[in-house]
Every structure is written in C-alpha cells, then in structure tokens.
Structure 1
Amino acid sequence: MATEIKTLAPAAVWGYFYDLTQIPRPTGHTLAAQDYVLALAARLGLKAERHAVGNVLVHKPATAGLEQRPVVTLQAHLDMVPQKNSHVQHDFVTDPIDAYIDGEWVTARDTTLGADNGIGVAYMMAVLADNTLRHGPIEALFTIDEEVGMVGAHGLQPGFSKGQILINLDSEDEGQLFVGCAGAVDVKVSLEYKDQEPTPEGDIAVRIALTGLKGGHSGTDIILGRANANKQLARFLKEAIASYGARLVSFDGGSLRNAIPREAFAVVTIPEAEADGLWEFASDFADQLRVEFRGVEETISLTLERTELPATVVPEEIQDALINAVVACVNGPQSMLTEFPGIVESSTNMARVLLEAGHFSATFLVRSSSDSRKMEVAGAIESAFNLAGAEVDYSAGYGGWAPNASSPILGTLRKAYEEVTGQTPEVTIIHAGLECGILQGVMPEADMISFGPDIRAPHSPDERVSIASVERCWHILTKALEQV
C-alpha cells in the first residue's frame, strides 16, 4: 500500500520514490517525470531549467555561511527499464508500478520496480526539500533516457554546470564506492531474405517457448553465469534441424539491449513422424539445461505445442547460416580486470533476436573499460554474422569513466560511510555504463564518484531495493554533503 511505503524511513525519500512509481517513465517517456521535478522546484522556490533534450537542472543555494564551498552536482536519471513477466498485462507508458513492501525489501508485482534509478532521483528531491541540512551550493541534475543510449548525458553541453564535485546516485551495492565504469557500444545485425519457400509437405508446425530464466542487468549481472534465452534456444534449434528435420519459421527472443534475455520463442515445422522424437529431445534438453545451470537458474521451462501451419519457411541456407551464427557468436564475460579482481573488463549481451517475414535482426550491447577490448568483442560479433551474409552496424558508443586514485570526494564519502556504518567501503569500478563516462567529457575538472543502496535484480521483474540500505545511504549522503 502507498501509505505503508511512505511511512518508511527516511519518509521524504520513500514518499518521493512512491510518487515516481505512480508516474509512468520508461525510457523515451519521461516528460511527466520532468514536469514533476519542475513542479517540486517551483514549490520550493528553487531555480530550475529544462534543457532542450529534456534534462532538468535544479539549483539549491548554500546554507548561510557556506557559500564558498565547492559546488556539488547530484545526478541520477529519470527513466526506468520496462520489463514484465509475459503473463502480465501492463503498459509501462500508461500504467503505474504496483510497488509493495516484501519483508526487508520494496519490490513490484510482476514488473520492474524502477528503483534503478528512482531511488537516486528520490534522494535528490529529498535533499532539495530538506532545509535542515547544512551544505554548500548544490545542483541536482536529472537526466533522461539513460537506459537506451544515455541520451540525456550525450545532450549536455560544456558549461552547463558549475559543479566541481559530482556524486552519481546510480549504483546498486551499498558497500562499494565506484570510481570508474565501463564504456559500451551497440552492435546491430540485419539481413533481408526472400520469404517464399513453401512449407514441406507432410510437416506440422510447433511453437517452442524457453521461459523461466532470471535475466537481469547485462552489466552488473553478466558475471553471474545466468542463461541467455537466445543462445540456449538457438542451441536447441540447431540440434532440432540436424536430427529431426526441423525448418525454421520464426524466432523472437529477448527485449531490451541492457537486459539479459529471460524468454525466447520460435516456430518450426517438422515431419509429423518426427514429432515424438522432438518432444522427447525437448524434455532431455530442458533437463540438461537444469544440470548445466544448477544453482543459477531454478525455474527453466522448455515447452512445445502444435500451432497453425505456416505457408512458408525460412530458406534452408539462410536458416542454417543464421542459427550457426547465433550459436557461434560470443556472449557473456570475455575478459577480466587484473587490477580489480572479480570485476569483468569486457562482455557482450545477445539482447534481442528477431526473425520473421523475410527479416532477421539481432542487437548486442558490448561493454568494456578498455576501448580496444570493446572493439575486439564487437569485431568478433561482426565476423560471425558477416560469415552468415548479414550487415553489421555500430552505434551509441561511449567511453568508460577513468578512475581517479587521488579523488578528494572519495575520501569524503569513505569517511562518511565509516562514520555511519562503522565499516570500510570497497573502492572499485563497475561493469556497467554510468553516465559519469560521458559527464567526464563535459565536466572534465569535476571530481566524480558513484554510490547507492542495495538494489537486486535490476532490469528484471525481480527488482527490489533494501529498505535498511536506503536509510543508511541517505545518512551517508547527507553527512558527506555536510563535510564537503
């Protein structure tokens, strides 16, 4: 219930966060959220501006006597990742999020919660509204459309900010302070073919569904070894084609570029005499996946059902070339950082695969803290699909955020963290795309850091945020602002 979430501590943070859950704000649809921030600034009597691209910048004057302190820019993004379970009827453009308390967490029913990055946005609004805090000059930068292409950050121009310190509030592990992040590039594959080959005589049509996978964030969760639905369904189809005479009709897997695919679907035709064999193979293959991913994926489901027979199938040479390319293509972590043990350096996520009606497309998000490694992985994808006759394009590339070992704000936040929790935080970099990588280009003199509360399973319907962690991070943030 709304009243329950709004009574959590700190009440201002949770109140603003709940309000955000009631404002639909998937990437590309943040106008209402922008208006909400501007209306808050107007009520508080604070100067605010909306940039042409849609970012909102709010200025809060320093506490009396602290005007000479450095300007601190707080930053978070307004958009959220729209992911839902397949059985749920939910329109992210019009429907609010059904958020609720589940024990020690706040989560949502069957959809993403939007704590990524709604909690960061709520922290900023609470800082703007709290006149009991002592701090120097503050800017609150609310960017748009971070989740697909970092549109808002890319739209910023040099000189937009006077910030000498930037605190990004888009991290998801309380015990870590982030001083660097990976860059990324989108790799998009396409192929057109003639959809004219008639379905073989005597075939039946079968719809195949691989569901029940965890999915998750294609950066922070890529190291967890979760199954990629596109890769595993292609693997099944390769054997179905080779052993049971299957002919591919369509393939539809994954959704967003930065979400590990949880579901994938295909339609094939097979000779009716091979039906029993295909069903038996599907059962064995599902059991095999459960063994291979034991301890990682607990609810793998591979189901087959007869469906309406199509008039045409994918030409055999196209079918074989594309399935082989998907099976052969790299996916998951590709290299690790030696200076930060346990942190992925380079990875790729086969995010979206679609084949139907004469068109094939695939989308990959390649991440790396090394530009050369990033392009090496992108080149491997390009090579695999070039061999299949497909065209490959790169887009939305951006560089990583280079660490600053002598960062003053790092020392301030580490001290605040220790005072609040009694523990020493880990200083590391994140294998995900924070906007700091782009902001560093337009705010080259700013000292940057990123931190945030515990958020689990972002970019999936299992997303949840720790209630206690949100409160601790609020105290860490406000203490740091007092000490800057």
Structure 2
Amino acid sequence: MNNPIQHLEPKAVWKNFFSLTQIPRPSKKEERIIEFMKNFGLSAGLETWVDEVGNVMIRKPATPGMENRKGIVLQAHLDMVPQKNSDKTHDFEKDPIEPQIDGEWVKANGTTLGADNGMGVAAIMAVLESKDLVHGPIEALFTIDEESGMTGAFNLQPDVLKGEILLNLDSEDEGELYIGCAGGINGNFEFPFKKVSAEQGTIAYKINVSGLKGGHSGLDIPLGRGNSCKIITRLLWHGVQKHGLRLSSLEAGNMRNAIPREGHATVTIPANEKEKFEKCMLSFAETIKAELSVTEPGLQITATSAALPDYLMDADTQNRMLRAVYGCPNGVIRMSDTMEGLVETSTNLSIVKTDGETVKVICLLRSSVNSAKTDLTHMMGSIFELAGAKVEFDGEYPGWKPNPDSAILKAMQDVYNTRFGKVPEIKAIHAGLECGLLGAVYPGWDMISFGPTIRYPHSPDEKVNIASVEKFWIYLTETLKNAPAKPVA
C-alpha cells in the first residue's frame, strides 16, 4: 500500500514508520510486531535475538575506522497506546492505523498514531539498514509493553548488551535533551459489593461524560484537563445527596497512563424525583462545562432515560466508594523546586470500573523524589483504607537521576550547536521513561533521551511534526558519527 507519508523526508525513517502503522501493536498484544522486528534484523544480515519476555535485540558492527568508539545502545519501545474517538470503528488488535498528513503534522484518522514510540523504532531501523552511515558499534534494544507496565524493561537481563551509552529515542520535543525522569507506582483499590434489586417506583438513567481531550498522564497533567473519573463521580455524588440516586454500573477511563476522556454510569432515582433530577443534572452539567470551558471546550455531559438495570450496588458500598473517589487526589501535587516548570509529584485517577461484583479504582502515581512518591502512596492508601477498600500498590519503577557530567551529553550539546547553531535545552521529564529501569540493570550506562516533536500522545489527537523528524534524524546520525571514543588503555 502506498501512502503520502512514505514520500516525506527522510524517506528512510518514514517508510519504516508507515510499515509500523500497518502492524497492530497495542500494549500486551505485541506478538506480530516482535516477529516483524525479528525478521527485519535477520533479513538485514544482522545478529538478532529475542529474549524470554519478547524484547528484540539487534547488533550491528562499527563501520571501518570507528571501532574505537564507545558502543551505543539505541532503544525504543514497540507497543503503542490504543485510544480512539467514540465515533471511530477500529479494532487495535486487527486494524492498521490510518496515518495522514495534516499541514505540518502527521496524525491518524480518529485514533492514536503510534508516533510514541514508533518514530524512535523507525529511526533505529533506518540506522540498522543503512549502508552509508558512519558509526561505532551499535546495539538496538526494542522493548515491549512500555505503555502498560514496562514489562520489557523490568525483565531485561544484565550482561546481555555490551554498549556503554544508551540513547533512548522516546522523548517528544525536538531540540531538548532529557537527562532525568520521574518514577512511578500503580495504586489499585477494590470495593466488593452486594447486588440488590431496584426498588419499586424507581426509574433509570444513563449518565455520559464525553468529549474530553485526555492525554498523557505525566506530560499533560499540568494542563488542568478534565478527568472523566472525577467529573462523573462528582455528578453521582451530587445525585446521591440531592435525589436519592442509586448506582448500578460505572465505567470511566481505560488506561492507567492516559488522562481519562470518557465515562458512563447507569443509575436509578425515585420516579417522583424525575423532573428535579433532570433539571439538576442539566444545571450541574453547565456548571462543570463553564469551569472547564477553556481547557475542555468539547466536554459533553448527558443524562438520558434507560431501562431499569437488573441490579444495584448496595447502598453502603456505593456511598463509601463514591466518597473515596470524590476525595481522591488527582493532578499536580507539587512542582519541582530545582527545575522551573517541571512537575515533581502527581497522580492520575485513571480508571473507575464495576464488573458486577467489585468496583476497581486504578491510579498512577509519579514523582522524581522517591520519598514524595512514598508519601503519596501513604496518602492514597489512607483514603481508601478508611473507605473499606482493598489497597494494593504494584508496578513500581525507579526514576532516573540526572548526570550533568555525562560524556554523551557534552558530545550531543556540541553536535547540536555545530549543526543547528544553538545549544539544546537540558531537561528532566515528568514521565516514566524506561531509562530509570534500564539504568538499574546496567548502572554503568551513560544515558540521554531525545526525539522529534510529538503532541497529545496517548490520545486520538496525537501528532508528530514533520520538520522535526528530519532534524531528529540528522541529530541522531551526527551523534553516532561523533560518539565518544573509548579510553586508551
């Protein structure tokens, strides 16, 4: 299949990116992309292997005269976040992404694009298959499941890779070098409930929250976007207080690392509250929309008549759960004292979902300060323990401490200044880059993260800037050419 993006420059990168869009690769469902990458490496005549969890590794020798350079590990993750607009029919396990040019950007038709981290994967593929680039010893590390648990990075084995420098190609602002990131941990809270029958003289409604922007739960958390879990819980809590609302089912959010965009609940109220309830929901919806009018102009809140549900959640659990979720912290907790504009600590209330027996509440807690992350787990745990929930924290991953004396950092600053006439910005990121985990396995690695400009990752508005991809490619190849030499024995 031919597609306009394949004709963009640099063609070596864009043709590979288009190939990636045609292979379904949502987190936890990476079998086809793993096989594709394995075959890619073998077809290029390069040493290629897949480890026990599915990470793909490919080794390429240095070009003549570059054997004395430090070995570089080029790293990106194979999976992507599966998010789509509610009116888009798309099966992320079967259907290809539909990339399209939109002015200065490439985006997808109603879904996430997968530029996070497909652009990094495509660039590494272009390096591996190139016959004319100048570089020292190269190893490619393609990890799995970064977006949903960092399974690949967690299970990478030591002493497998030989490189001394890691270039992580998973950042989203061209011209910026990232030398640190936040660590994170998942908060899982569970409320078992009893099923009870709807009372006589009640009627049912379906409450819907939609049209929110969503976005990356780390990068976009300081933007003040609406959170569907918080909005719908606020509506339900208000309905309980004012109209005797009873809850049957609730579902909001579907990814722990994405700001939740949609939510819906099935509820009942006494029939004699019908007029008051509808008027109240309409008024309350307008209040919330007014509060978020700047950040969320597309927000829609509706309450429509529905069939009576087969069961309700028992009132005690309903009230404990709603109070806990309503009171649950969400958003920025603290800004960094050392880096202007950087979030230090945050939490994203990611998912609230009933399954007929329990209500599951999932949050992603992030911080670049380990003690602050620990404090946040205690705070969240205290709230949900008081409400009688089962509390569990898992999936913890470390942050990445900046090294301002890094040799590769100095080399990359010089390369960018020489090539583009300015020094790149040095930053840390409020997101869970794999560098923290990988650096724990290979503590001697000198690490940098960089990439092209990507906006609105983890949402159907995701897009990558075309011009930035070419600059990113030039920067990557010039960095490989100017990699630090090994110390002379």
Q: Which of the five TM-score ranges fits, normalised by the shorter chain? A: over 0.9
Letter in 1 for 2:43: R
- 1:5-44 matches, within 5 Å, as 5-44=5-44
> 2:130 maps to what in 1?
130
After TM superposition, list the pairs within 5 Å mapping 1:415-426 onto structure 2. Answer: 415-426=414-425
1:226-375 equivalences in 2 (<5 Å): 226-375=225-374
Per-residue deviation, 1:417: 2.1
Q: Secondary structure at the match of 1:260?
A: coil
Aligned-partner residue type, residue 7 of structure 2: T
Residue 286 of structure 1, CA deviation: 2.2
1:177 is aligned to 2:194 = no
Task: Give the TM-score taking structure 2 as reference length.
Answer: 0.97
Equivalent pair of 1:183/1:399 in contact (CA under 8 Å): yes
Kindly provide the CA deviation profile for residues 224-277 of structure 1, in whole angstroms up to 9, marking residues without a partner as x.
111110011111111111111211111110001000000011111012222222
Instruction: Give CA-to-partner distance per residue, 1:171-207, whole Å, 9 cap, x none.
Output: 0111321000011111111121211x22122110000
- C-alpha displacement of 1:424: 2.4
| Residue pair 1:286, 1:300 contacting (<8 A) in 2 also | no
Tell me the distance in 2 between the aligned counterparts of 1:356 and 1:207. Answer: 17
- Partners of 1:337 and 1:343 within 8 A in 2: yes
Distance in 1 separating the partners of 2:186 and 2:430: 15
Q: Give the whole-Å Cα distance in 1 for the aligned partners of 2:405 and 2:154.
A: 27
> Conserved in 1, the CA contact under 8 Å of 2:83 and 2:111?
yes
Whichever residue aligns with residue 73 of structure 1, its letter is: V
Which is further off, 115-124 or 284-293?
284-293
What residue in structure 1 maps to residue 59 of structure 2?
59
Q: State the secondary structure of the residue aligned to 1:395.
A: strand
CA apart distance, 1:48: 1.0
Question: 1:65-110: CA deviations, max 9, x gaps?
Answer: 1111100000000000111112222111111111111111111111
Q: Which amino acid aligns with 1:329?
A: C
1:378 and 2:377 matched: yes
Partner SS for 1:190: strand
Structure 2: distance between partners of 1:292 and 1:426: 34
Counterpart Cα distance in 2 of 1:13 and 1:113:
15
Give, in whole Å, the separation in 1 of the partners of 2:307 and 2:81.
34
Aligned partner letter, 2:438 = L
Q: Distance in 2 between matches of 1:87 and 1:384?
A: 36
Post-superposition CA distance 1:413-469 (Å, at most 9, x none): 222222333232211100000110011111111100000111111001111100111
Does the 8 Å CA contact 1:329/1:380 hold for their aligned counterparts?
no
Aligned to 2:447: 448
1:396-435 alignment, distance < 5 Å:
396-435=395-434
SS at match of 1:259: coil
> Is this contact kept in 1: 2:191–2:321, CA < 8 A?
no
- Once the two structures are superposed, the pairs formed by residues 70-219 of structure 1 within 5 Å of their partners are 70-195=70-195, 197-219=196-218
Residue 164 of structure 2 aligns with an amino acid whose one-letter code is: Q
- Residue in structure 2 matched with residue 389 of structure 1 by the alignment: 388
Once the two structures are overlaid, the 10-residue window that deviates more, 17-26 or 312-321, is 312-321
Letter in 2 for 1:40: F
Moved more, 283-292 or 78-87: 283-292
Alignment check: 8 A CA contact 1:289 1:300 kept: no
Q: 2-side partners of 1:87 and 1:276: how far apart?
A: 30
Provide the rounded CA distance (Å) in 1 between the counterparts of 2:69 and 2:238: 66
| 8 A contact 1:249–1:356 mirrored in 2 | no
Aligned to 1:460: 459
Deviation at 1:25, TM superposition (A): 0.4
Structure 1 letter corresponding to 2:423: T
The 2-side partners of 1:297 and 1:175 are apart by 29
Gaps of 5+ in 2: 484-489
What whole-Å deviation, never above 9, does each CA across 1:284-331 have from its counterpart, x for those lacking one?
222222221232111010011111112432222211111110010111
Distance in 1 (alpha carbons) for counterparts of 2:481 and 2:283: 61
CA contact (8 A) 1:2 1:18 kept: no
Query: Pairwise CA RMSD of aligned residues?
Result: 1.2
Deviations 1:332-386 (A, max 9, x none): 1111111111111111111110124231111111111111111211222211111
For 1:133 and 1:357, locate their aligned partners in 2 and report how far apart those are by CA, in whole Å.
58
Query: Against the structure 1 CA distance between its residues 430 and 2, is the aligned structure 2 distance closer, same or farther, given a 3 Å change threshold?
Result: farther
Question: What amino acid is the match of 1:378?
Answer: T
Identity %: 47
Pair 135,329 (structure 1): closer, same or farther in 2 beyond 3 Å: same
In 2: Cα distance, 1:115 partner to 1:347 partner = 25
Which amino acid letter does the alignment assign opposite residue 391 of structure 2? V
Amino acid at match of 2:318: Q
8 A contact 2:191–2:317 mirrored in 1: no
- Greater alpha carbon shift after TM alignment, 36-45 vs 104-113: 36-45
CA contact (8 A) 1:9 1:471 kept: yes
Residue pair 2:181, 2:399 contacting (<8 A) in 1 also: yes
Distance 2:104 2:272 in 1: 54
Find the residue that maps to 2:3 and give its secondary structure. helix
**Within 2, Cα distance between the matches of 1:442 and 1:271?**
59
Given residue 145 of structure 2, which amino acid in structure 1 is its aligned partner? Answer: D
* Structure 2 CA distance for aligned equivalents of residues 128 and 430 of structure 1: 28
Contact 2:175 2:425 in 1 (8 A): yes
Q: Is the 8 A contact 1:188 1:393 kept in 2?
A: yes
Q: Distance between the aligned counterparts of 1:301 and 1:472, measured in 2?
A: 39
Question: Would you identify which runs of 4 or more consecutive aligned residues in structure 1 move more than 4 Å?
Answer: none
SS at match of 2:226: coil
Tell me the SS of whatever aligns to 2:90: coil
Contact 2:254 2:350 in 1 (8 A): yes
